[in-house]
Structure 1
Amino acid sequence: MKVFLTILALAVASASAFEEVVHPKDVAKVNKIEGRITNGYPAYEGKAPYTVGLGFSGGWWCGGSIIGNTWVLTAEHCTGSDVTVYFGATWRTNAQFTHWVSRNDIINHHNADIALIRIPHVDFWHMVNKVELPSYNDRYNDFNEHWAVACGWGGTYDGSPLPDWLQCVDLQIIHNSECQQTYGSGTVSDNILCVRTPDGKSTCGGDSGGPLVTHDGNKLVGVTNFVAAAGCQSGLPSGFQRVTYHLDWIRDHTGIAYY
């Protein structure tokens, strides 16, 4: 019994050593609406035409990705109210156009932090366009060590005044085993993808639901999910829903798939 209790105590101590996570949407607020890429760079107009802003009627701000003429992909923890979708908005409040969408047109995943928003049909051009999902040939590709870009609106450091210009940051995808050293396997399971955040470069408050797109091939591989509770600039990994894990779910609801 003493041996068992000792092992149990070690297990509890080990579990408590893992870093806690927080949804970027819930990072402590500053004076303006949240939406932040820390230590990124301003996007030129048309750099990420698939990125949309999501202004929810509850007062919070998230991001999303256009994956088809009538579909946006985002995070489940963002949803819960009606939403205004901002299209082609390099300057957040100066969108090319907006659409209001009822919460009835939001499809939440029951077991993962990912969601779909059914939008009115939008035509594509250089300022508003879709991003492709990974193909089924890549469904078992973990994209380890690949470089990718995340985009969102906001400031350049923790607590900064938040500019409205779209910000992007280049981040490197890491093995889940590396991410588990920080958060544990209970948080970082097969449906999670993580990136390194060196030099304070990271996703942060308001970036929830936004895209992570590979440099090579421009494929949407991640949906922004969590950062370390220690802070966006702590240097600890940021977590995303792994899009390849959800290809069947996306196809079943939208008909969108690449083979």
Structure 2
Amino acid sequence: MKVFITILALAVAAASAAPSTGMVHPKDLTTTKKGIEGRITNGYPAYEGKAPYTVGLGFSGNGGGWWCGGSIIGNTWVLTAEHCSGSAESVTVYFGATWRTNAQYTHWVSRNDMINHNSADIALIRIPHVDFWSMVNKVELPSYNDRYNDYNGAWAVACGWGGTYDGSPLPDWLQCADLQIISNSECANYYGTGLIQDKIICIRVVDGKGTCQGDSGGPLVTHDGNKLVGVTNFVPAAGCQSGGPAGFARVTYHLDWIRDNTGISY
């Protein structure tokens, strides 16, 4: 958890196409770089109930424990990133929290209820049935009518807690940041066309505002229509605030997979 871990499989496959920069999972970012904090960077504190679909995910596995985010997409389903759940033996889901570990309630889930995508950085967690109210609610997926919408230029909000920074054990208040989605061609100018494919959606990082350590798996939700369009996947290996785009799994690309596993579609 204290070292950079690049996405080796992608990096090897795209070595000839990618520029000198790389990408890293936010959960694996080092916290020793000055100015980089383990949460949404340069965002704003969320008021209670702002993002009731956001859950905290405390994973446990052979490598110890790690923190990610996720999104409630139905009464019994959470969507997150595969690099969060792939090696996990269990996860504690924190529902309705604003202060990171002070949840309205929690559920423990074993790996038997985790469904990891075999070729993309996206995953599902089957949860015990939860009732919806102001502090705990679902976010809708894009409809099938929007499956080819690239959302280029649209504004969206990302929320998360991340881990604490500089080794501090204290939790963070939920942070959110308003971010602008960019075209894949603009994102590929930074990472290379081999890494930025149709299943990825990117946001522009301006003034260091973006996702960071511990935000992995968390939501990217459009301002217009409040649709979940992204799942936090990666940031530049140079650091969250280095100016490179942040990347997300493109939810519209995975609508069939989500429907086939959960029955949820619009």
Instruction: Give the TM-score taking structure 2 as reference length.
Output: 0.87
Q: Which amino acid aligns with 2:43?
A: G
Tell me which of 122, 128, 135 is aligned to 1:120.
128
Say if 2:72 is the partner of 1:70: no
Q: Secondary structure at the match of 2:48?
A: coil
Query: 2:6 — aligned with what?
Result: none
Residue 159 of structure 1 and its aligned partner are, at CA, apart by 5.3
Cα offsets for 1:84-107 (capped at 9, x unmatched) = 000000011110000000011000
Q: Secondary structure at the match of 2:177?
A: strand
Q: Does the 8 Å CA contact 2:18/2:193 hold for their aligned counterparts? A: no
> CA 1:35 to 1:121, structure 2 compared with 1: closer, same or farther past 3 Å?
farther
Consecutive aligned runs of 4 or more in structure 1 exceeding 2 Å deviation:
12-18, 158-163
Q: Secondary structure at the match of 1:38?
A: coil
1-side partners of 2:191 and 2:157: how far apart?
22
> CA 1:174 to 1:160, structure 2 compared with 1: closer, same or farther past 3 Å?
farther
Query: 1:239 — aligned with what?
Result: 247
Sequence identity (%): 80
Query: 2:42 — aligned with what?
Result: 39
> CA 1:121 to 1:75, structure 2 compared with 1: closer, same or farther past 3 Å?
same
Q: Secondary structure at the match of 2:137?
A: coil
The correspondence of residues 206-245 of structure 1 with structure 2, limited to 5 A, is: 206-245=214-253
Query: 1:165 — aligned with what?
Result: 173
The correspondence of residues 1-259 of structure 1 with structure 2, limited to 5 A, is: 15=17, 17-29=19-31, 35-57=38-60, 58-79=64-85, 80-81=87-88, 82-154=90-162, 163-258=171-266
When structure 1 is superposed on structure 2, of 146-155 and 49-58 the one drifting more is 146-155
Q: Secondary structure at the match of 1:60?
A: strand
> CA 1:16 to 1:50, structure 2 compared with 1: closer, same or farther past 3 Å?
closer
> CA 1:16 to 1:126, structure 2 compared with 1: closer, same or farther past 3 Å?
closer
Q: Secondary structure at the match of 2:156?
A: strand
Q: Secondary structure at the match of 2:83?
A: helix
Query: 1:8 — aligned with what?
Result: none
- RMSD (Å) for aligned C-alpha atoms: 2.0
2-side partners of 1:219 and 1:117: how far apart?
19
Q: Does the 8 Å CA contact 1:18/1:181 hold for their aligned counterparts? A: no
Cα offsets for 1:130-160 (capped at 9, x unmatched) = 000000000000000000000001589x859
User: Which ranges in structure 2 are unaligned for 5 or more consecutive residues?
Assistant: 1-13
Q: Does the 8 Å CA contact 1:38/1:203 hold for their aligned counterparts? A: yes
Q: Which amino acid aligns with 1:257?
A: S
Q: Does the 8 Å CA contact 1:154/1:165 hold for their aligned counterparts? A: no
> CA 1:186 to 1:14, structure 2 compared with 1: closer, same or farther past 3 Å?
closer
Q: Does the 8 Å CA contact 1:135/1:257 hold for their aligned counterparts? A: yes
- Greater percentage in helix: 1
Cα offsets for 1:214-245 (capped at 9, x unmatched) = 00000000000000001000111000000000
Residue 185 of structure 1 and its aligned partner are, at CA, apart by 1.2
Q: Which amino acid aligns with 2:108?
A: W
Q: Secondary structure at the match of 1:77?
A: helix
Equivalent residues, number:
243
> CA 1:13 to 1:246, structure 2 compared with 1: closer, same or farther past 3 Å?
closer
Q: Does the 8 Å CA contact 1:18/1:184 hold for their aligned counterparts? A: no
2-side partners of 1:16 and 1:250: how far apart?
30
